[in-house]
Amino acid sequence: MTEELKVSNDKDRADNLGLGPTPEDDFAKWYQEIVKKAELAENGPVRGTMVVRPYAWRMWELMQRYLDDMFKETGHENAYFPLLIPKSYITKEAEHVEGFAPELWEVTRGGNKDLEEPAVIRPTSETIIGEMMSKWIQSHRDLPMLLNQWCSVMRWERRPRLFLRTSEFNWQEGHTAHVDEEDAMRETLQMLDIYETFAVRDLALPVVKGEKTPGERFPGAKNTYTIEGMMRDGKALQSGTSHYLGTNFAKAFNIEYSNSANEKVLCHTTSWGLSTRMIGALIMAHGDEKGLVVPPRLAPHQVVVIPMRFDKEPRVLEAAEQIAKDLRAVGVRVHVDKRDQRPGFKHNDWELKGAPLRMELGPRDLDEGKVLVAARLGQDEKESIAIADLVGDIPGRLEAYHDFLLTRATEFRDANTKQVDTWDEFVEQVKSGWASVLYDGTEETEQKIKEATSATPRCIPSSFEAEEGPCFVTGAPSAFGKRVIFGRSY
């Protein structure tokens, strides 16, 4: 972003900064207002598409940076594959095409000519990458092959919602090939751990990590693993998934290698992905009636300095710029708000945008060698801090703010997750949170639960202890040897 945030028609915005509904009144409308008024995104001209504005795109850039660093540390390499995939590739893996068929966007013409073979806009890239892997992998010496790409994909959405479900969205998708199941499963779980680390360390989002039930698996996968975050309306948001694909795609695309005995052996493959949906997670997991609450590591501006009366006393602006320079030198992202607007407007605007820390600096503060600092959450009063102490104080203050948000979100999740053993308890619990239950794992039971409550199985948590017992719906033996978390979801 440019150093000075440009706001069109500030007078009109000043009259419309406040949010109408609170999260408690109307969560869906509250979410939509934040996306619009905090200048995060707009609907695109084609149904289901999204224009991501600079403030939100900067958050996505930071997410990319942190994730990409972790991917590279574990040996993955970035590549890029075509947007258009021959339709015949999609149909090679039967379960995959069946799962994605209702979501495909198809291209039949190029210029003025009908295509000899229709193409689909990638809904995900297992097929095209599988085709390339079959060419690149010859020997066990070529394995593991660890690839990732940053791109956009398209899936038809009947009920689009900005960041959460759009027909086009940005993400990363990892695709790897391995000598055997053991190595592929190690990769699958390693990437799930990376997603968990990212969610907790960077998003301040305490996620539940576990395996999806068979009915919730990725099309074509043998096992699907997920991290699930609880939003402040008690619903679940699937926040990142990692899939062990077995040899399903290897069979379809002849991804095989010669082992040490010169025998042809099918590779075991994986895929894993995380998307701009995480911006939606940030909004819904931390926001409040005043707007966004942005965790420090993902904040475009970690500190916003508001110089007071600098039009009459230029020394105030000079001092603000020097503070920003000093803090940037120790890795803090700082923005000096030089807009020709009332201080009250600026305060409200940065509250709406969720900047972690605000500083006020006026002539009197400068004379005293101090600034006033206020946190977006968790601190009722402004605190006076010596300018000379800022470089040593602010980085630790940002870390403490992150910890505060993580604790707040964890306490909320734990307070709204309950172990239940009867149908009536379950129906009541999933109205506003998650239910931990013993469940027979059948499609019939899952459908009955979904039709009655809109709740679905989110995951079989890896942290849960082994437990046997009767299904809370049918009384039949539970299927997974431990409890399953159910909740309504996005």
Comparing CA positions, the residue from 424, 404, 405, 410 lying closest to residue 473 is 424
Find the mean pLDDT for residues 92-120. 85
- Residue-wise pLDDT tens digits, 47-101: 999 999 999 999 999 999 999 999 999 999 999 999 999 999 988 866 665 767 7
Other C-beta atoms closer than 10 Å to the C-beta of 424 total 9
Of 100-114, 135-149, 211-225, the poorest mean pLDDT is in 100-114
Residue 179, sorted as left (phi over 0), alpha (psi -120 to 50) or beta, turns out to be alpha
Judge whether residue 10 has pLDDT over 50. no
Judge whether residue 15 has pLDDT over 90. no
pLDDT higher for 367 or 8? 367
CA 48/CA 55 separation, integer angstroms: 21
Q: What is the DSSP letter of 100?
A: H
Task: Estimate to the nearest angstrom the gap between the alpha carbon of 379 and the chain centroid.
Answer: 27
pLDDT of residue 102: 78
- Residue-wise pLDDT tens digits, 441-454: 999 999 999 999 99
Q: Residue 135: which H helix or E strand, with range? A: helix 126-136
Comparing CA positions, the residue from 300, 281, 248 lying closest to residue 95 is 248
User: Could you tell me the residue ranges of all domains in the chain?
Assistant: 20-286, 303-397, 417-487
Find the mean pLDDT for residues 400-410. 98
pLDDT of residue 222: 97
Q: By the 8 A CB rule, do 386 and 365 touch?
A: no
pLDDT of residue 319: 97
Judge whether residue 295 has pLDDT over 70. yes
User: Which strand ranges, in their side-by-side order, compose the sheet holding 357-361?
Assistant: 334-336, 303-307, 357-361, 370-375, 383-386
| Mean of the per-residue pLDDT values of the chain | 94
CA 54/CA 8 separation, integer angstroms: 14
Q: By the 8 A CB rule, do 350 and 295 touch?
A: no
- Residue-wise pLDDT tens digits, 248-283: 999 999 999 999 899 999 999 999 999 999 999 999
Find the mean pLDDT for residues 381-396. 96
Judge whether residue 19 has pLDDT over 90. no
Task: Indicate the pTM of the whole model.
Answer: 0.93
- Residue-wise pLDDT tens digits, 212-231: 999 999 988 999 999 999 99
pLDDT of residue 8: 36
Classify strands 370-375 and 357-361 as parallel, antiparallel or unpaired. Answer: antiparallel
CA 424/CA 472 separation, integer angstroms: 10
CA 467/CA 23 separation, integer angstroms: 36
Tokens representing 231 are: 């939003």
Find the mean pLDDT for residues 14-31. 84
- Residue-wise pLDDT tens digits, 419-474: 999 999 999 999 999 999 999 999 999 999 999 999 999 999 999 999 999 999 99
pLDDT higher for 204 or 341? 204
pLDDT of residue 106: 94
pLDDT band at 119, cuts 50/70/90?
very high
Comparing CA positions, the residue from 226, 227, 177 lying closest to residue 202 is 227
- Residue-wise pLDDT tens digits, 406-423: 999 999 999 999 999 999
- Residue-wise pLDDT tens digits, 333-367: 999 999 999 999 999 999 999 999 999 999 999 99
Please tell me the CATH superfamily of domain 417-487, with its number.
Answer: C-terminal domain of ProRS (3.30.110.30)
pLDDT of residue 3: 32
Q: Name the 3-class secondary structure at 117.
A: strand
pLDDT band at 12, cuts 50/70/90?
very low
pLDDT of residue 94: 62
Angle, alpha carbons 224-225-229 (nearest 5°): 135
303-397 shares the fold of 20-286: no
Give rounded-to-5 percent helix, strand, coil for the chain: 40, 25, 35
Find the mean pLDDT for residues 392-408. 98
Residue range 303-397 forms a domain whose CATH class is: alpha beta
pLDDT band at 16, cuts 50/70/90?
low
Q: Residue 272: which H helix or E strand, with range? A: strand 268-275
Classify strands 303-307 and 334-336 as parallel, antiparallel or unpaired. Answer: parallel
pLDDT of residue 103: 86
The architecture (CATH level 2) of 20-286 comes to 2-Layer Sandwich (3.30)
Please classify residue 468 by burial: count the beta carbons closer than 10 Å to its beta carbon, then call 0-12 exposed, 13-18 middle and 19+ buried: exposed
pLDDT of residue 93: 67
pLDDT of residue 11: 45
| Angstrom distances, CA of residue 11 to CA of 17, 101, 189, 273, 345 | 10, 48, 51, 42, 10
Judge whether residue 197 has pLDDT over 70. yes
Find the mean pLDDT for residues 18-27. 90
